[in-house]
Structure 1
Amino acid sequence: MTHSVHTSASTARHTLPDDGLTGRAGRARREPMAVRALRDDTYLVDTEHDSYVVDLDGRSCTCPDYRLRGARCKHLRRVAMEVNEGLVPPPGKRDGVCAVCGESVFVPVDRGSYLCPAHSPERGEFVRDRETRSLLLVTRVTSERADERETEDGTVVADYGSNAEYGGHEPVIEAVYVGRAVTENGRMNVAGLRRYSFPASRLARVPAALRPNLAVVGV
């Protein structure tokens, strides 16, 4: 399976749309700057004159305006703006790509395989197995890769023949077969059912209009 890779926002200096703000907030938007997230949860802000390091959580900056005046400088404001507008990852996240479609996505700084919102089903959501057409219910979306996760019998998920067409780099999704659940009085109880592991793209999300109208317990 081939995946496209989308690059994150350009690291070249740029401005943000002018929204009429004045003072430091206005300069933060109108002046060309490049913001880059660093591995220690700080941000490098490159301006036309110099570069500074911003600690968003600590509300500090290495620029003279902050060091000498204690001001919430334009660099701090610019980083907050770019985080709020989804241009750079927030603290605790890094640039990544969805393991299924390759779309840019902010992911936890720890290693693992992740999905964008479009390809990450919710716990308790109905999905369909592309191979068997069976209906399943998601019990957990993990960050473990299919070529690393072992099942109960010691077989790696990606090594199953039925998973050959799906990416080994994809995160594993755990799910139960709906047909094996006990259904009574409009409630489906999946407690105690065996959890099976699948590469993410093997499970297709079921449109809301086609999902069973059942309350689910025991997920």
Structure 2
Amino acid sequence: MTHSEHATASSDSAAPRRRPLAPDTRRLETRSARAWTEPMAVRSLDSGRYAVDGASGATYTVALPDGDCDCPDRTFRGERCKHLRRVAIEVTEGRVPPPGRRRDRCAGCRREAFVPEDGPPVCDACRPERGNRATDRETGDTVVVGRLTDETAAERAVPGANCTVADYPANGSYPDDDPVVEVVYPFDGPDFDDRRRYAFPLSRLAVPGETPVA
């Protein structure tokens, strides 16, 4: 083992170094320091916009993708104001959702997460993508994801069965508000797009690393 390797191994096993969460504001310019230290409340709106409630009682709207704010400092002086900086801090720290995301309960893991602003509330870890393989928890069969739809199991009708996906006998143990995932079977014809699609509740599909059969 070289000296550098030994040093790395020792530092990895050592107790973590104590450090402040915020930067040393004495080294920051005034607006950045105020963004870190002043009491403000940031609320996500939509389309990358955020409401910032300041200590003075005023509320300003920040459009983060545009780098804009309707406060006087930004509007009249053209400065990157403390409100813009505060929103950027809170997004980076994971306190508020980034542009294009909203805070909601994921329909897959049922935990609060930042999910896409549009479409079903499914976090990145649970979101099936076209071509992903999954396992049917009921049968153990391997299926291939076609697409995640905007319909819930209670909304999607099963052709020829006179019921919805939620009411289908094999789906009784899965939530009615599960988003519907269209899947195909791997050996059901050579052309992926021409294969018959089957509608499954999201929770019925196990992704790699999960227990496939309930």
TM-score range, shorter chain: 0.7 to 0.9
Residue ranges of structure 2 left out of the alignment (5+ in a row): 1-19
Q: Is the 8 A contact 1:114 1:170 kept in 2?
A: no
- Paired with 1:91 and 1:120, the residues of 2 have a C-alpha distance of 18
Q: Report what 2:28 is aligned to.
A: 22
Q: Report what 2:181 is aligned to.
A: 173
Q: Report what 1:56 is aligned to.
A: 64
- Paired with 1:171 and 1:191, the residues of 2 have a C-alpha distance of 21
Q: How many residues align?
A: 187
Q: Which amino acid aligns with 1:19?
A: P
Q: Report what 1:72 is aligned to.
A: 80
Q: How does 1:1-219 map to 2 (within 5 A)?
A: 17-20=21-24, 22-23=28-29, 24-39=31-46, 41-50=48-57, 51-110=59-118, 112-153=119-160, 155-181=163-189, 190-207=192-209
Indicate the structure whose relative CO is greater, using CA pairs within 8 Å and at least 6 residues apart. Answer: 1
Q: Is the 8 A contact 1:94 1:106 kept in 2?
A: yes
Provide, for residues 11-59 of structure 1, a one-character-per-residue CA deviation record: whole Å limited to 9, x for no partner: xxxxx93223501223212222210012464211122223322122332
1:207/1:30 Cα in 2 relative to 1: closer, same or farther (>3 Å)?
same
Q: Which amino acid aligns with 2:196?
A: R
Moved more, 100-109 or 30-39: 100-109
Provide, for residues 121-151 of structure 1, a one-character-per-residue CA deviation record: whole Å limited to 9, x for no partner: 2321111111111111111122321111223
- Give RMSD over aligned pairs: 2.6
- Give the number of the structure whose alpha-carbon radius of gyration is greater: 2
Residue ranges of structure 1 left out of the alignment (5+ in a row): 1-15, 183-188, 209-219
Give me the TM-score of the superposition, normalised by structure 2: 0.76
Identity of aligned residues (%): 46
Secondary structure of 1:158's partner?
A: coil
Give me the TM-score of the superposition, normalised by structure 1: 0.74
- Paired with 1:46 and 1:108, the residues of 2 have a C-alpha distance of 25
What is the CA-CA distance between 1:94 and the residue it aligns to? 2.1
Q: Is the 8 A contact 1:18 1:26 kept in 2?
A: no
